[in-house]
Structure 1
Amino acid sequence: MAARYDIIDPRFADKIDPQAELRELYSDCLWAEGPVWFADHDCLYFSDIPNQRVLRYLPADGSVTPFLAPSNFANGHTRDRQGRLISCEHGTRRVTRREWDGRFTVLADSFEGKRLNSPNDVVVRSDGSIWFTDPTYGILSDYEGYKADPEQSARGVYRIDGDTGAITRVIDDFAQPNGLAFSADENRLFVADSGASHDPEVPRHIRVFDISADGQARNGREFCTIDVGIPDGFRVDEDGWLWSSSGDGVQVFDPDGRLCGRVLLPQTSANLTFGGPRRDCLYITATKSVYALAVRARGL
C-alpha cells in the first residue's frame, strides 16, 4: 500500500521517501512488539506477546517463521556488545541473554530481594551495561503474563553493570516506564511513560535524562509529548531525531523535541526499529501486524 505521511515541518520531508511503499510483512499477531534487527543474519526478530512466541522475518524470501515458543511472554529485545539476544520476559519477570549454544542466562529477575514487576524494554550501552524498564503490564492480567501483585515499590528503570552484573535502580518516578533509547553520544537517555494506558491523568510524554560518568540518570525533563495514543517503543536516528510509536502510527521529533511529521498507519503501533543493510528500513510492530517502510534516515 502507498505510505501516508503528515508533514508538519518541511525538514521531515527530507527524512522520507514519497515513493516508498508501506509493506505489511505479517498480520497474524495478537500484539506485535519488540522488533530487533540482526544485520549479520539479515533478519528481524519480533514478539507476539499473548501468543507466547518470538518470530523471525527473513527479507531474502519474505518468510516469517517461529524462532522461540513458548517465549515466556517475551516483549522487548536488543543485542549486547557481543551480538547476543537480550530479552525482557513478562512471564518469568526477568531479563535474559540467549547464549550462542541456545542456553539462556538470567541477567535480572529481582531487586533488593524482591521480584521485578515485568521487564518491558531494554537497551545496551557501549560500556556493556544493560538498561531496562520495569512496568507492571505483565502482571496486571493473564493476557501478557501472569496476574500477580507487584513486589517492587516503584515501576523503575534499571541498570545492569556490564562488568559485575550488579543491578541498580536509576529512575523511580514513572507511572509506567516503557520504551527507552540512548542518544548517539550516550550522554542522554530517553524513556517513555505509557501510564496513560490505564490512567488518563498521566502525561503522554517521553522524558530525557543526563547520564553521568558513573551511570547515574539525572536532570529528568520532558522531551516531547505524543498527541495521539501513548508513547511505547521508539528509536533515535543518526541525526538525533526521535521516531516514536503512537496511536496514529509513528510520530517523528527533531533533536529539540518538536513534532515534525508522522508516518500514518492503519493500526496502533507499539514499537519500531531501523534495519536493513544500511539501517534505512523502518520496521514497525503495530497491533496484529509488522510493517516495513524505506526511509531516508538511518538508525544508530
Structure 2
Amino acid sequence: MPSTLNRRRLLQGVGASALGAIGASVGAQSFGFVPNQRYPDPAVYILDPSFAKYRIYSSTVEQLGSGMRWAEGPAYFPDTGTLILSDIPNNRLMKYEEKTGRFSVHKEGVNYANGNACDRQGRLISCEHSVTRRVVRTEKNGQITVLADRFEGKRLNAPNDVVVKSDDSIWFTDPLFGINGEWEGSRATPEQATTNVYRIGRDGQITAVITDLVNPNGLAFSPDEKKLYVVEWKGTPHRSVWSFDVSADGHTLSNKTKLIDAAGPGALDGFRVDRDGNLWCGWGFSGAFAPEASDIGGGMQAHLPLGKSEEMDGVKVFNAQGKPIGFIRLPERCANLAFGGPKRNRLYMASSHSLYALYVETHGAV
C-alpha cells in the first residue's frame, strides 16, 4: 500500500495528465492546478459567520479546463448540461460538458463575444463585443438572429454582459472595452455619446434604461427581479455595484444607490445572484500602480503595484445589503460566473486562462 506522500504524488500526476489532455484539446497546456487534498478547502474563506451555511465541508475548487487568454461570460444550459463561455482574445466560444468532463472549442469566429446567457427557451444570447458590435441569438437550428446592433440610428459601442428577465426581456451593458484597442477586438470610434444599459422588449424595441454610468459591465437581477444590479467599471472613482429599483411594469429603473464599492485596488467585473439575494462577484487586483517610482535594483525605478494579485484574485461574496461575507481564493483573476449543474448549486468561475468550479450550498436565482 503506497504511503500518503506517494499517494498524493500519484493523484497530482493523474490530475496533471488529465488537465494536460483537456488543454491539448483546445490547443494549449494547462497550468498544473491540483485541488486541495484537505476538507474544508482552505481556499474558501468565511468573512462573516452568515457565509458558513453556504460552504460545503467536503467540496473543493476544481479546475475544469485551461488554455484560454481571457475567459468570460459563462452561461449554463440545463437541457444539455453544458456551459458555454467566451475566450475573447482568441475570438471563440468554449464548451464544458458536465457528463463527460470534456472541455473544447464550441465555435470559432464569434466577433469577440463577451457575455452570454441562456434564454427561457434554451437559446444562446451573446454579446458580440467588437467588429459587429451587436447582441445576437443562436436559434436551435444554428441560425443567428440579430437582436440589437444600433440605438437611435447609431452603432452600439461594445455589448458586454447580458441577462434575460422572466418576462423574456433582454438587458445588456454597452461599454467601450471591445473598441478601445486590438486585444479584445478592433479599435473603433464610438458613435454613442454615453455608455448605456439597454433593455430589449419582447416586441424588439430597444430602450436605454441607464445612461449615466461610465462603462457599465456586469449586471444581474435580484431573485424577485425588483432590483437590478450593475457594475460601473470607472467613475466613482472605484469600481462599484449600483442598485436600481425596477418599476412594476418592468420597463424602467429608479432610486440609484451604491451597494458595493470595490475601494482601492479591488476590481469587480461580472457577478451572479443566488436565491438568497447574495452577490457572487468576480474579483481581483485592478492593476493600479503607485504614482511615484521606487528603486527595484539594477539602476532601474518602477511604479510598483498597489496590490497583490495572489491575495485578491477569486470570488468575493456580498449579502443583499452589500456586506462582504465570503471569499473564494483562486490562482487566477475571476472575470465572471454562472450557477449550473442539475441542482443549480455548482458555481462556475471563468478566470483568466481557466474555468473553475465549486459546489456550494445555495442555488442560482434563476
TM-score (norm 1): 0.96
SS of match in other structure, 2:57: coil
The structure with the greater share of residues assigned to strand is 1
1:95 alignment counterpart: 135
In the other structure, the counterpart of 2:45 is 6
Q: Matched residue pairs, number? A: 295
Matched with 1:266 is 331
Instruction: Confirm or deny: 8 A CA contact 2:79 2:122 kept in the other structure.
Output: no
Distance in 1 between residues matched to 2:358 and 2:100, nearest whole Å: 17
Partner of 1:238: 275
Shift >2 Å, 4+ stretches: 225-229
1:61 shift after superposition: 1.5
Counterpart position of 1:125: 165
More helix by share: 2
Code of the aligned partner of 1:178: N
Partner amino acid, structure 1, of 2:148: A
Greater relative contact order (Cα < 8 A, sep 6+)? 1
- Helix, strand or coil at the partner of 1:257: coil
2:246 to 211, 214, 225: 211
Q: 1:64-103, aligned counterparts within 5 Å?
A: 64-91=103-130, 92-103=132-143
Partner Cα distance (2:143, 2:234) in 1: 34
Helix, strand or coil at the partner of 2:223? coil
Write out aligned runs for 1:107-186 (5 A).
107-162=147-202, 164-186=203-225
- Separation of aligned partners in 2, 1:226 and 1:299: 23
Q: Distance in 2 between matches of 1:7 and 1:64?
A: 31
Distance 2:181 2:71 in 1: 18
Cα distance in 2 for partners of 1:232, 1:222 equals 15
Q: Which amino acid aligns with 1:255?
A: A
**Correspondence for 2:322 among 225, 233, 257:** 257
* Match of residue 16 from structure 1: 55
- Partner residue, 1:38: 77
Q: What percent identity do the matched residue pairs reach? A: 49
- Are the aligned partners of 1:226 and 1:246 in contact in 2 as well (CA < 8 Å)? no
Kept in 2: contact 1:35–1:46 (CA 8 A): yes
Which structure would you say has the larger Rg? 2
Structure 1 residue 225, shift from structure 2 partner:
2.2
| Offset at residue 60 of structure 1 (A) | 1.4
Looking at structure 1, the residues matched to 262 and 342 of structure 2 have their Cα atoms a distance apart, in angstroms, of 30
In structure 1, distance between residues paired with 2:272 and 2:323: 15
Deviations 1:46-90 (A, max 9, x none): 110000110110121111121111111001011222111100001
Give the one of 313, 338, 342 matched to 1:277.
342
How far is the alpha carbon of 1:142 from its aligned partner? 1.4
Change (3 A) 1:141 1:165: same
Distance 1:229 1:61 in 2: 36
Q: Which moved more, 1:44-53 or 1:228-237?
A: 228-237
1:291 is aligned with what amino acid? Y
Q: Is the 8 A contact 1:242 1:253 kept in 2?
A: yes
CA separation in 1, counterparts of 2:338 and 2:351? 12
Instruction: Please list every run of 5 or more consecutive structure 2 residues that lacks an aligned counterpart in the other structure.
Output: 1-34, 285-312
* 1:226 CA displacement: 2.5
Shift of 1:264: 0.8
